[in-house]
């Protein structure tokens, strides 16, 4: 699967639909962080395209199978990085003023707004939706970001490295949202460290969530 290609997303969804009888859990986890100003195959800003639009299209393409498999769950991996983010509806691809951090925060805020609107649309279907911050994890996600950090900042923040989670530890909140029975009747909420948490106020904006849904559907050809 190449989330930077809408055709690749559609091809995977088609393969799953043709070869799988049910889909109990869909985890939207893959992402990219603070890369240069790159574009996806379809001309979208890379972080918004991969972190949000690819998952948005894949999830919508698999909704019928998820509904046939109820009770089923959709887990959307966001980040605490959504804080201080906003959706730039007037410049969604950030062509006017690209900044890697601004782009990343926008895409992670989009994850939570997508979860919120999707949960509202799936009320009563038996499909529940969750978003989460997995923690700071020892993976390759920061490969574009870390080389740009000045040496003095690396030295100051080096003690923080002791708090970085292993991949196993970082997966726990995702697993919790995917299978924990205590969350079977909740939907549209945000979690961190296997507990319900309150996201930034911008992530609770239902009007923005609806507007983002409509824009995303148009961008991926679902409108």
How do residues 162-189 score in pLDDT, each as one tens digit?
567 787 777 899 999 999 999 999 999 9
How do residues 41-50 score in pLDDT, each as one tens digit?
999 999 999 9
Mean pLDDT of 47-74: 99
Q: Is 132 exposed, middle or buried (0-12, 13-18, 19+ CB in 10 A)?
A: buried
Residues above pLDDT 70, as percent of the chain: 87
Contact 222, 63 (CB under 8 A): no
Domain boundaries, the chain: 6-220
Greater confidence (48 vs 81) lies with 48
Residue 99, pLDDT score: 94
Active-site amino acid positions: 104
Contact 116, 209 (CB under 8 A): yes
Query: Is it the case that residue 91 has pLDDT exceeding 70?
Result: yes
The domain defined by 6-220 carries CATH number 3.40.50.720? yes
In the beta sheet, which residues pair with residue 131? 76, 190
Residue 95, pLDDT score: 97
Greater confidence (120 vs 34) lies with 120
How far is Cα 74 from Cα 146, in angstroms, rounded to an integer?
Answer: 31
How far is Cα 137 from Cα 166, in angstroms, rounded to an integer?
Answer: 6
């Amino acid at each position: 699967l190449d989330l930077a290609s809408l055709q690749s997303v559609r091809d995977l969804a088609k393969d799953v639909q043709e070869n799988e009888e049910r889909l109990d859990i869909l985890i939207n986890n893959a992402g990219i962080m603070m890369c240069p100003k790159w574009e996806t195959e379809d001309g979208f800003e890379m972080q918004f395209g991969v972190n949000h639009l690819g998952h948005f299209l894949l999830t919508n393409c698999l909704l019928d199978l998820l509904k046939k498999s109820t009770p089923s769950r959709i887990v959307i991996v966001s980040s605490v990085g959504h804080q201080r983010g906003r959706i730039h509806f007037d410049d969604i691809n950030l062509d006017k003023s690209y900044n890697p951090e601004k782009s990343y925060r926008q895409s992670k805020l989009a994850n939570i707004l997508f979860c919120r609107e999707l949960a509202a649309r799936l009320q009563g279907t038996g499909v529940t939706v969750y978003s989460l911050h997995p923690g700071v994890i020892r993976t390759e996600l920061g490969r574009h970001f870390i080389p740009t950090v000045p040496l003095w900042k690396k030295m100051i923040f080096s003690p923080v490295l002791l708090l970085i989670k292993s991949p196993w530890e970082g997966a726990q909140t995702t697993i919790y949202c995917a299978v924990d029975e205590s969350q079977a009747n909740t939907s549209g909420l945000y979690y961190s460290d296997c507990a319900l948490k309150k996201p930034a106020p911008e992530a609770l904006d239902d009007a923005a969530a609806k507007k983002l849904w409509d824009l995303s559907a148009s961008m991926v050809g679902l409108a």
